[in-house]
Amino acid sequence: MKKPLIIYFNDEKMVKSATDHSKFLKKMNLLAKGNSIPVSSIEDFGTLINNLADELNVYVFIHIMGDALGENIPLDGIEFQGKSWAISLKQEYPNCNFLFVTSNLTQTTIEIYDGIPAHNITDLMDKIFVKMSDEFLPQKVREIKSLDTSLQVSEISSPTNESVAVSKDIVILTALVEDEYNSFKNNMDGEEKSSCFIGKFKEANDYKKEVTLVSQLRMGMVDSSITTKNIYKNINPKVLILAGVCGGRKEKKVKLYDIIIPKNVIDIITGRYENGEFIPYGYNEKINEGLIDYIEKITTNPDFVLKEMYNLIPNQKHDRENEIVRKIKIHYDVMACGAFVLKTDKFLDETAKKMNDKIVGFEMESYGVIRATEFIDRASKLSIVVKSVMDYTDSKKSDTKIIVPTSVEEDVDKIPAGENIKMMAAYMSSICTRALLPHIEKFIKDNNI
Give residue-wise pLDDT tens across range 106-137.
655 566 777 777 888 888 888 888 887 777 88
Give residue-wise pLDDT tens across range 45-75.
988 998 898 888 999 999 887 644 444 444 4
Which CATH fold topology does 152-446 show? Rossmann fold (3.40.50)
Cα–Cα separations (whole angstroms), residue 441 to 240, 266, 332, 445: 12, 27, 21, 6
* Cα–Cα nearest to 341, from 87, 132, 146: 132
What architecture is the 5-145 domain classified under in CATH? 3-Layer(aba) Sandwich (3.40)
Give residue-wise pLDDT tens across range 189-208.
998 876 789 999 998 889 99
**Domain boundaries defined on the chain:** 5-145, 152-446
| pLDDT attached to residue 405 | 44
Q: Do domains 5-145 and 152-446 have the same CATH topology?
A: yes
Give residue-wise pLDDT tens across range 227-237.
998 898 888 89
| pLDDT attached to residue 257 | 95
- Computed over every residue of the chain, the mean pLDDT equals 82
- How far apart CA 17 and CA 31 sit, in angstroms, is 21
| pLDDT attached to residue 180 | 92
